[in-house]
Structure 1
Amino acid sequence: MMKQLFCILALLFFMGVKVEAVELYTEDFPPYNYITNGELVGIGPEIVRALAKDVGEDPKMTVLPWVRAYKYASEKKNTGIFSIVRTPKREPDFQWVGPLYAVRVGLYTKSENKHLYSGDREENLIQARKVGSVAIQLGGAGEELLTTLKFQNLNPILNVSKSLFLLLKGRYDILETSDVFMAYMAKEEGVLMSAVSEIAVIGEYDMYLAFSKSTSLETVEKWRNALEKYKKKTNINNPS
């Protein structure tokens, strides 16, 4: 029996059949996934590396602008993307592994303008629909989320690392982002969180690792099983 198995493995080797390594894409979006001292760090890479270890892989992780990362991860075989919000529009593009963790998303304005948003959530959303510009990440989930809420004044931005700076400079009226990102960028810019005001909560959203549709189901199931083990090991359902 062992001799037969050896012969099969040898035949596959000489035929050039091999298991293709998975390549994963992400973006520079602190503090979830970002580069520091030449290393990709953050809660996203931390969880994904733990899963990869269980799967027995050492995937290449490439940091790209979000739109390009999304395109590659959705079109190429044996590729994935993290950390990504699972939305109805994105659902058919990927095979989903998650949730990995959750984020709280809201709308922010300069504190000097917070008097314009003194009502409840719905009243503030009505007011926010009237302003000149609401900044969202180019290709991000914010466009889908806010379009669903009837926003027509969205301004996609490419460089999210400058988003707080530009908000405070008055480049746009409102910024859609997470509370954790806002706190991180306030520290990076050397400003107090009191410089901005959250005017409305959009919601809390689960973040996923997602594989292209052309990636084998067997590969995806390995990562799903690894996540289940990770959750049991860490005794959490949605790390944050």
Structure 2
Amino acid sequence: MIKTLFCGWLFCFLTLGNVSALEFYTEDFPPYNYMEGKELKGIGPNIIRELSKEVGEEPKITVLPWARAYKYAQEIPEVGIFSIVRTPKREDVFHWVGPLYTVRIGLYAEKANKHLYQGTNEENLDQARKVGNIAVQLGGAGEELLTTLRFQNLNKIVNVNKAMFLLLKGRYDLLETSDAYMSYMAKEEGISVDVVSEIALIGQYDMYLAFSKSTPLEVVQKWQDALDRLRQRQSVGNPS
């Protein structure tokens, strides 16, 4: 009897010991996900923390350069990545939970060059195809979106935190990014956001938490259900 109980307890212990917590990857890209000292802050982590409480799990979050985080999220079983744009090319690569929030993505020029872009949005996009280089995040959604729009003058960068500074220094002709990023970085640099101008809109896109394809669908659904509950409570608490 005692031997049977001991074996049963040992089996449970070993089983539980082999259960690994979920791991999520994200990037240092303010104001969405960024490190401030040793603390991960931003819109994305705040939502993920709320979701974690709702789900009853606390995933390990690792901050990596985007290209590496994206690679790991495809190759490592049962992991998640946020905040990620759900593009046609990525649709079948992941399981999706969201949307978490929406971003506005455009092409930005130094204010002194704004006069070069005085046409319609399509005309300004066409003008942008002719410049020397447009900075885009390596492996980011902007690279895919602009390639789809027939852009061939893309300068793929890793360190997005210096992108606005380098745009103002003339290293890039244009920068693909979001209005929220521009506002945040202008504040960080202690300059007016008016020193740059959006010369063309690429679009507005929903951001998601994505799980690797090996993740069980019941896990994905659990996180989606948690998000739906949070949204429902927010809707009830903030009637229009």
Matches of 2:158 and 2:13 in 1, distance apart? 47
Q: Aligned equivalents of 1:224 and 1:12: distance in 2?
A: 32
Match of 1:209 in 2: 209
Instruction: Name the SS of the counterpart of 1:91 in structure 2.
Output: coil
Q: 1:20 touches 1:78 (CA, 8 Å); kept in 2? A: no
SS in 2 for 1:218: helix
State how far apart, in whole Å, the 2-side matches of 1:148 and 1:12 are. 53
Matched, 1:86 2:86: yes
Partner of 1:231: 231
Distance in 2 between the 1:37 and 1:216 partners?
35
Give unpaired runs (5+ residues) of structure 2: none
Amino acid at match of 2:117: Y
CA distance in 1, matches of 2:196, 2:210: 33
Q: Does 1:128 align with 2:114?
A: no
Match of 1:62 in 2: 62
TM-score, L = length of structure 1: 0.92
Could you tell me which residue of structure 2 aligns to residue 186 of structure 1? 186
The amino acid that maps onto 1:231 is: R
In structure 2, give the amino acid aligned to 1:146: L
- The letter of the residue matching 1:144 is E
Aligned position for 1:16:
15
Distance 1:90 1:219 in 2: 20
User: Structure 1: 5+ residue runs without aligned partners?
Assistant: 1-5
Q: Which residue of 2 aligns with 1:220?
A: 220
1:44 corresponds in structure 2 to: 44
1:100-137, Cα deviation, whole Å (9 max, x unpaired)? 00000010001101111011101101100000001100
In 2, Cα distance between the equivalents of 1:214 and 1:75? Answer: 9
Name the structure 2 match of 1:3. Answer: none
**Whole-angstrom CA distance in 2 between matches of 1:192 and 1:82:** 29
Alignment partner of 2:44: what SS?
A: helix
- Maintained 8 Å contact 1:74/1:80: no
Find the aligned partners of 1:192 and 1:20 in 2 and give their Cα distance.
46
Q: Would the aligned equivalents of 1:26 and 1:69 in 2 still touch at CA under 8 Å? A: yes
Question: For the residues of structure 2 that align with 1:103 and 1:12, how far apart are their CA atoms?
Answer: 48
By how many angstroms is 1:20 displaced? 2.8
In structure 1, how many angstroms separate the alpha carbons of the residues matched to 2:63 and 2:57?
A: 18
* TM-score normalised by length of structure 2: 0.92
